[in-house]
């Protein structure tokens, strides 16, 4: 079997590689928005000065689009909560048996401080996370695109140069 006989097969394979690379690139750029809600009961004995992610045992990574932090007081005295979200500082006073909410821009460096001590607080976090789970496929699709496109160009160049030599 000669190369000229299988030219159409090789050309079809190279075009198929380019099409597969294009499909993989579309899949790799898909984004998903996940809404998660996590609740933890805080029982501060000496106040809390911890990062928000460690309080909630939160390990999900992605782009935070919308985060709301809810505080519910189960005590009969007002509770003062300070949330440090550099460069912003939120000072919230939760009245007895009520709920207060704070909208946050991000979650990485948020620190929560509760006073006075010995109050029962329930903290809930509602987060909308935008993630791209198939982003690693973009590398594979790029490599396949380069290989397929290069092979297609080489085959077209070969065919054109072969026709020119036949005409002469």
Place of tokens 């000072």: 91
pLDDT tens profile 9-66: 888 999 999 999 999 999 888 887 777 777 777 665 555 656 666 666 666 556 777 8
* β-sheet bridge partners, residue 79: 94
Burial classification of residue 147, based on how many CB atoms lie within 10 Å of its CB (0-12 exposed, 13-18 middle, 19 or more buried)? middle
In the sheet with 88-94, reading across from the earlier edge strand, the strands are 50-51, 110-115, 79-85, 88-94
pTM of the model: 0.59
Residue 86 has pLDDT above 80, yes or no: no
Cα gap 111→82, rounded to integer Å: 8
């Amino acid at each position: 079997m000669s190369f000229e006989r299988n030219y159409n097969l090789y050309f079809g394979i190279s075009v198929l590689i380019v099409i597969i690379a294009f499909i993989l690139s579309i899949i790799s750029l898909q984004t998903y928005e996940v809404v998660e809600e996590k609740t933890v009961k805080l029982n501060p004995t000496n106040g809390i000065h911890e990062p928000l992610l460690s309080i909630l045992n939160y390990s999900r990574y992605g782009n935070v689009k919308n985060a709301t932090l809810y505080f519910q007081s189960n005590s009969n005295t007002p509770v003062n909560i300070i949330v440090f979200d550099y460069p912003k500082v939120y000072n919230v006073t939760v009245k007895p048996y009520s709920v207060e909410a704070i909208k946050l821009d991000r979650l990485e460096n948020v620190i929560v401080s509760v006073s006075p001590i010995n109050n029962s607080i329930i903290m809930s976090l509602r987060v909308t996370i935008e993630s791209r789970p198939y982003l690693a496929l973009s590398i594979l699709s790029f490599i396949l695109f380069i290989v397929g496109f290069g092979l297609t160009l080489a085959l077209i160049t070969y065919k054109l140069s072969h026709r020119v030599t036949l005409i002469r």
